[in-house]
Amino acid sequence: MSAPPVLKVEHLTMRFGGLTAVSDLSFDAGERKITALIGPNGAGKTTLFNCITGFYKPTVGRLQLAHAGGETFLLERLQEFRIAKDARVARTFQNVRLFAGMTLLENLIVAQHNTLMAASGFTVFGLVGSPSYARAEAGAIEKARYWLDRVGLTDRADDPAGALPYGAQRRLELARAMCTDPVLLCLDEPAAGLNNRESEELNGFLRALRDEHGISILLIEHDMGVVMEISDHIVVLDYGIKIADGTPAQVRNDASVIAAYLGVTDEAAVTSDATPM
C-alpha cells in the first residue's frame, strides 16, 4: 500500500465488562480504497465501527484519521458529533436509521446541518431572512438533488422517508451520509436485504464514490459476492481478533479464514496460523 492510510487502527481493544469484543486490532484503511471488514456474526465488526464513529470509547488503542490536506484526528478522543463534523467520518447503520417522518429532501438537508448552521449565523441571520443564508440553502438543495439523482430517488423527494421500500431506504441513507461530505464512509452491511440487481447497483455506486469522488470506504458485509468484487483490501475478524488481512485473492485462499467460516478438523487447525500481510 503506497498511499498513506486514511485510517490507522492501532492496538484497538474494546471490553464490555468481562467480554472482549475487539482485541488488540491493528490495520490500515487506504485512501481512496474500499476496505472490507468481514467475519462471522459476533466477530466485533460493528463494535469496531462504533469505536471509529465515537459511539463507543475504546478501552485501549488509537484511531488516527488523516485528511488529504495533512490534518490528523485522533478519533478516540473526539465526541461522536465532532467525528462526523470535523474529522468527516460518515456512517450508515445495520438497521437503517432515517428520519422516517421527514421527507427525503429534509433528510438530506439535515445532513448538511453544520454548513447551514454556520451560514445562518447560528440562526440569527436566518431568522431575519438574510440573502446569504438563502444562497446557502439553495446550495444545500442542489447538493441534495445531486445525491437524490445519483441514488435514483428524485421523484420521491417530497415523500416521507419512512414510506420508501427497504432497498430505497438503504440508498437514501447512503445519499444522506454523502451529503455530509465525508472523507471516510463507514457502511454497516449496505447490501443486507437487497436483491441481486440492487446489490449489483450498489457495487457500481460504491466504485463510483471511490473513483469519482475520492471517498475512502470502510465496509462491513456478509455478502461475499459484494466483498470479493469491489474490495481493494479485506480484514477478517473472528472473536475480536484479526485472523487475516490482505487482497481479496489472498484472503480467499487463507487457511484460517476458511477455517473460521467453514470449520476445520483438528489437524488442519494446527497448521492454519499463517496470515499473509
Partner 1 sequence: MSDPSPAPREDEPAGARVDLLAALKEAVITAAVAFGLFALLIGVRTEQGPTGALIITTRFGPLAAFVATAFVGRFIFAMTRHRFTVPAKFLVPQAIRQAAAAFSPYLAGALLVFALVVPVVFYGNSYLLDLAIQIVTYIMLGFGLNIVVGLAGLLDLGYVAFYAVGAYSYALIAQDFGLSFWVCLPLAGILAAFAGLLLGFPVLRLRGDYLAIVTLGFGEIIRLVLLNWQNLTGGPNGISGIPRPSFFGLPFTASENGFAATFGLNYSPTHRFVFLYYIILALALLTNWVTLRLRRLPIGRAWEALREDEIACRALGINTTTTKLTAFALGAMFGGFAGAFFATRLSFISPESFSFTESALVLAIVVLGGMGSQLGVVLAATVMFSGFEFFRQFDQYRMLVFGAAMVAIILYRPRGLVSTRKASISLHRRREIPTDAVDRTQSLGPA
Chain residues binding partner 1 by CB under 8 A are 46, 50, 53-55, 80-85, 90-91, 93-103, 105-106, 109-111, 113-114, 116-117, 120, 123, 126-127, 133, 137, 141, 144-145, 148, 154, 157-160, 162-163, 176-177, 180, 188
Between 14 and 251, CB nearer to partner 1: 14
Between 95 and 265, CB nearer to partner 1: 95
C-alpha distances (whole Å) from 151 to each of 100, 147, 178, 194, 198 are: 18, 6, 11, 14, 11
Encoded amino acid at 154, one letter: T
* Residue whose cell numbers read 445495520: 94
In the complex, minimum distance from the CB of residue 114 to partner 1, in angstroms, rounded to a whole number: 5
Q: How far is the first Cα of the chain from the last one, in angstroms, to the nearest whole number?
A: 11
In the complex, minimum distance from the CB of residue 130 to partner 1, in angstroms, rounded to a whole number: 11
Between 89 and 234, CB nearer to partner 1: 89
In the complex, minimum distance from the CB of residue 186 to partner 1, in angstroms, rounded to a whole number: 9
Between 23 and 112, CB nearer to partner 1: 112
In the complex, minimum distance from the CB of residue 176 to partner 1, in angstroms, rounded to a whole number: 7
Between 35 and 50, CB nearer to partner 1: 50
In the complex, minimum distance from the CB of residue 1 to partner 1, in angstroms, rounded to a whole number: 28
C-alpha 114 chain-centroid distance:
20
Question: Angle 196-213/166-178 helices, nearest 10 degrees?
Answer: 10
In the complex, minimum distance from the CB of residue 260 to partner 1, in angstroms, rounded to a whole number: 21
d(CA 17, CA 20): 8
In the complex, minimum distance from the CB of residue 246 to partner 1, in angstroms, rounded to a whole number: 27
Between 80 and 198, CB nearer to partner 1: 80
Between 20 and 115, CB nearer to partner 1: 115
